[in-house]
Amino acid sequence: MSEELIIDNCSPTLAGIKTGNLFSIRTTEDTDIYSEVRQLNHELGNKGIRVIPLKRTDEYTLIYLYRPKHLKKDLRDPEALKILNKRGYACDDPERCIVQLIGRLNENSDFPHEIGLFLGYPPSDVACFMEHPCEGVKYCGCWKAFSKPEKAEKTSDRFKRCTKVYQEMCRKGRSLKQLAVC
């Protein structure tokens, strides 16, 4: 997977201003995604970043790039805990939650919308989206915000600016390892 693809999709997480990002890559029988993920974890692990393949099909692999410390903090939120507990997650350990998320992605045809909690989205917005995905949306940017539209717009704009800056720095020769902050 190319550094450009990761930068295009994960710059806010690389910059330390977002918990996690998802992206997918096309895969074939010859794609050694696990080797690529190991290499990325080797490169980015000391920056506090982890990469995990969440789901693999014949056509694509869904990749999760995240900051474990951010995720641990996010999943301590009482509203996030309520959402996850209601869906049967073992909330005592974020890594176990990820394993359960992987299971839900691979076993169910329905997409687990609680995934927004693993990306750093506000639990109140995740809960509203899960109940009524099209009703009461006040702002639509990186996620559907059902409350605090001004804050959601500022955050989405911040993520977009970060991505543009990282894309420009990549074009000027900065590597993924150089762009990832601790």
What pLDDT shows up at residue 13?
A: 98
**What is the C-alpha separation between 164 and 137, in angstroms, rounded?**
26
* Residue 108 burial by Cβ neighbours in a 10 Å radius (0-12, 13-18, 19+): exposed
Question: Residues 10-17: what's their mean pLDDT?
Answer: 98
Q: What pLDDT was estimated at residue 1?
A: 83
pLDDT at 20: 98
* 125-148: average pLDDT: 91
Q: Residue 88: its pLDDT value, please?
A: 92
| pLDDT beyond 80 at 29 | no
Please, which contacts does 99-102 make with residues 24 or more away whose CB atoms are closer than 8 Å? 101/54, 102/52, 102/54, 102/55
What pLDDT is attached to residue 105? 94
**Which three-class secondary structure state does DSSP give residue 140?**
strand
What integer pLDDT is reported at residue 55 of this predicted model?
94
DSSP secondary structure, 70-139, as one string: HHHHHTTSHHHHHHHHHTT--TT-HHHHHHHHHHHHHH-SS--TTHHHHTT--HHHHHHHHH-TTSS--E
For the cut 90, the answer to whether the pLDDT of residue 108 exceeds it is no
Q: Are 165 and 174 in contact (CB under 8 A)?
A: no
pLDDT at 133: 85
What's the longest Cα–Cα distance across the chain?
47
CB 106 within 8 A of CB 55: yes
Instruction: Compute the CA torsion angle 75, 57, 38, 121 (nearest 10 deg).
Output: -20
Per-residue pLDDT, averaged over 21-38, amounts to 89
More confident residue, 154 or 27: 154
